[in-house]
Amino acid sequence: MAIPETTACQQVLGGTFKGIRSPCYSIYRCGHARLNRETYSTSRDLQRSVSTDENDTTEAVLGSFTGGLAGHRKGDVKSLRSIITPPVSKIRNIGIMAHIDAGKTTTTERMLYYSGYTRALGDVDDGDTVTDFMVQERERGITIQSAAVTFDWNGHRINLIDTPGHVDFTVEVERSLRVLDGAVAVFDASAGVEAQTLTVWRQADKHSVPRMCFLNKMDKTGARFTYSIESIKEKLKARPLLLQLPIGEGKSFQGLIDLVTMESLSWSTQSNEDDGRTFQKKPLSALMDRDLLQSAKEARSLLLEQIADLDDEFASLMLEEYSEDLNLIPVEKLQAAIRRITLARSAVPVLCGSALKNKGVQPLLDAITLYLPSPDDCSHDFMSWYKDDLCALAFKVVHDRQRGPMVFVRIYSGAMKAQSAVYNVNKNCTERMSRLILPFADQQVEISSLPPGNIALTVGLKQTATGDTIVSSKASASAAARRAGRAGEKSKDKKSQDNLVLAGVEIPEPVFFCTIEPPSVAKQPDLENALRCLQLEDPSLKVKTDPDSGQLILCGMGELHIEIIHDRIRREYGLETYLGPLQIAYRETILSGSRASDTLDRMMGDTRQQVTVELEVKPLSDDSPVVEYSDSLPSGVNGYQEAVENGIHSSYLTGPLLGSPLQDVGVIVHKVNVLPGTSMTVVSACVSRCMQKALKTAGKQILEPMMRLEITMGEDYLGSVLADLLQRRGNIQEIQDRFDNKVVLAFVPLAELMGYSTDLRSATSGSATFTLELSNYEPMNAQDQNSLLRKKGLL
Ligand SMILES: Nc1nc2c(ncn2[C@@H]2O[C@H](COP(=O)(O)OP(=O)(O)OP(=O)(O)O)[C@@H](O)[C@H]2O)c(=O)[nH]1
């Protein structure tokens, strides 16, 4: 048995460390007494887990809280805490993903509580959860930033990332999925699969993340186990493997039947105060309810059949060794088969419970360790290029006012060490990392080194942004490049030779923008600095400068996104900024082509610079290249090709109608005559001017963002919601029934949805909910296009 590497906790930073963001004082206020006690319970828990493995050696170092907490007595915290880094096979890097409000945060809180990392149960509704620790998150009761949490369960290290459900923050979800090995999809069992679940499910598919489902809120009136299972089949097109059956639904929900071990698990329903830590486990034969027993037997037979269908090894066990009595199949063999199926993504295990009522979370934790992959189960080409050298991916940057940027990394190979220099492949620079931290939600434990497979938080990397690849040195990157090159030659895979940089996350184009102004000119540099830090953290936030007015422009994924950024600049950077009206990010295209020519002729110093260009713009068809050169042109345009294409691309940024980016426009270059000695910049400028000329006379068209809207409301409001959608130029696709509710699916131009949440709330007395995502860009009709141009004073 491999001896696990041991790392020692050097200091518990809970007191001095003001959270990932400085305004974290609120958590200390509501939880600091808890924080101190937690340290005890965590130590005990870890000590317990230490003693279960005889090969583990531990090193415990005394740390101390030093100030930072109001009313806190220095030195009264016993932070004797040993951190064992388990073998890689016992690490689980897991994401929790779901539709907004499905209960991810509540479930995470319960996990932390049962694993001994918190002393009290946090409650989203009371604003005292551990993972939602930004002030805005506490106030709004939603998760904005993924908070990574590390904890141990049954000798396993679980690195868990609580991801936000709101569509404005899907980049956060995708960023987490990129580095996770497995995921738990949490559902509201009264709603089944909801709109955002579909989006995150698709994202998890894209990154081939094995996952399991947790049907939460089984206690809620209207909770329907069977309905939720059907919606997983129908909407997610997934194959559910039912590992549990609920005992009761809604108010009568009291526990679960474990179809793998054939036991019933029941929690006390006597008191709401019960923390669910203890529950009763009985063999199924002791179950009094005959109907339930029968259903459990049937569900178990179905489960065995499904597993045999999907796993040959298990099928042969069933047909040969245990054909006489399937009940004799050892639980471990069944679990191993479920694990293989989950990793192969041929089915998804389904569990259920109620996080709020403290039922079913411990079996979920067991299932995570049993069925979801360890880093060893996931292989990547680049791991062989780096061998034992460090290779890590920065997947999130957060900014702390005192410590500067702090970077979450996933280590793929080699060890990451505190107080060491690392090389950032994307930025081509060497940086010094001062500290390495294990993130226990708002508490941080400093460690000296971490082996591959882990997720850690680093301090000191100032240039690193989300998506950057970090290795030990430039020499190590070069050696990896050579190995990648050889591998690429062998496999004739050109891509692998270039691909030293681990793929980052695709960031969707922002659909909203607005100007942002500092309170005074003197504060402009502070605002620029705040925006620079926020952009390092949040790659979906774009900042531009208006070339005419010089004003700063914020571009974001939605109204809420921009609102949160505004709020954070105020709270975290102490700047009261002014936002201009929110505007839509339109695009432009052309419906018919046009040809133009232009000449630039000027003296620069003693040199005459002269270029004549003739080109044609045309609607781009799917199979033609964006830039074509007419046959009459000399090949390579006499060495000016790059300058010509720079000129073309720069003119794509400002369309002729609104100055919005152009799409689906092709160019044919007919003539480029350049006087020798003319600079490349002048060639690009002439091409760009000629492009603008041609575009002006082409058939111009504005494209507007169309949103896919899903609204859930009581039947009484259906008529008024539909009438309102039609007024907003909405195209209604479908009206579905969901128990007593109606669900409307529609496509609506984004321009018509400004302030929709407030309008919908007042029209339905706050009872309706909706989700919104960008569907595509569509041409505006002539009338709407003209009225938009008039509104902007452009017609
Ligand atoms: N009845 C019931 N309510 C629950 C349960 N779990 C969570 N809730 C409630 O559902 C609401 C949302 O819970 P959260 O844990 O914040 O959900 P979330 O998925 O993290 O939400 P976002 O981070 O905003 O996406 C809160 O009011 C919770 O108290 C449950 O098991 N049963």
Residue 562's closest CA among 401, 406, 755, 747? Answer: 755
125: CA distance to ligand 1 center in Å? 8
Asked if pLDDT for residue 81 goes beyond 90, the answer is: no
Best mutation site among 105, 106, 196 for ligand 1, i.e. most ligand atoms within 8 A of its Cβ? 106
Q: Please give the Cα distance from 690 to 699 (Å, whole number).
A: 16
C-alpha count within 13 angstroms, C-beta hemisphere, residue 470: 32
Higher pLDDT, 507 or 706: 706
101: CA distance to ligand 1 center in Å? 5
Q: Please give the Cα distance from 115 to 472 (Å, whole number).
A: 34
Residue 612's closest CA among 677, 665, 666, 689? Answer: 689
User: How long a stretch of residues is the chain?
Assistant: 795
| The two three-digit tokens of residue 580, written as one number | 């201009």
- The beta strands (E) that lie in 620-663 are given as 627-629
Confidence grade of residue 138 (pLDDT, cut at 50, 70, 90):
very low
Ligand 1 pocket residues where CB is under 6 Å: 98, 100-106, 124-125, 142-143, 164-165, 216-217, 219-220, 354-357
User: Which residues are registered as beta bridge partners of 597?
Assistant: 614
Residue 428's closest CA among 348, 489, 501? Answer: 501
Count Cβ atoms within 10 A of the Cβ of residue 605 and give its class: 0-12 exposed, 13-18 middle, 19 or more buried.
exposed
**Cα–Cα separations (whole angstroms), residue 603 to 607, 682, 685, 688, 689:** 6, 11, 15, 19, 18
Rounded to the nearest integer, the mean pLDDT of the chain is 79
132: CA distance to ligand 1 center in Å? 12
Asked if pLDDT for residue 528 goes beyond 60, the answer is: yes
* Residue with CA at minimum distance from ligand 1 atom 4: 356
Q: Please give the Cα distance from 118 to 110 (Å, whole number).
A: 9
Q: How many other C-beta atoms lie within 10 A of the C-beta of residue 758?
A: 9
Confidence grade of residue 14 (pLDDT, cut at 50, 70, 90):
very low
- DSSP of 259-296, one letter per residue? TTTTEEEE---S-TT--S---EEEEGGG---HHHHHHH
Higher pLDDT, 170 or 503: 170
Ligand 1 closest atom vs CA 108: 15
Ligand 1 closest atom vs CA 354: 31
- Output the CA torsion sign for 543, 545, 546, 547: negative
Q: Please give the Cα distance from 409 to 411 (Å, whole number).
A: 6
Higher pLDDT, 669 or 442: 669
Residue 464's closest CA among 423, 436, 505, 435? Answer: 423
% of the chain surpassing 90 pLDDT:
40
Ligand 1 closest atom vs CA 98: 19
Which ipTM score applies to this complex?
0.98
396 touches 412 (CB < 8 A): no
Q: Please give the Cα distance from 375 to 452 (Å, whole number).
A: 8
587 touches 660 (CB < 8 A): yes
Tens-place pLDDT, residues 565-620: 999 899 888 899 999 988 888 999 999 999 999 999 988 888 899 999 999 999 99
Q: Please give the Cα distance from 42 to 207 (Å, whole number).
A: 33
- Output the CA torsion sign for 115, 116, 122, 128: negative
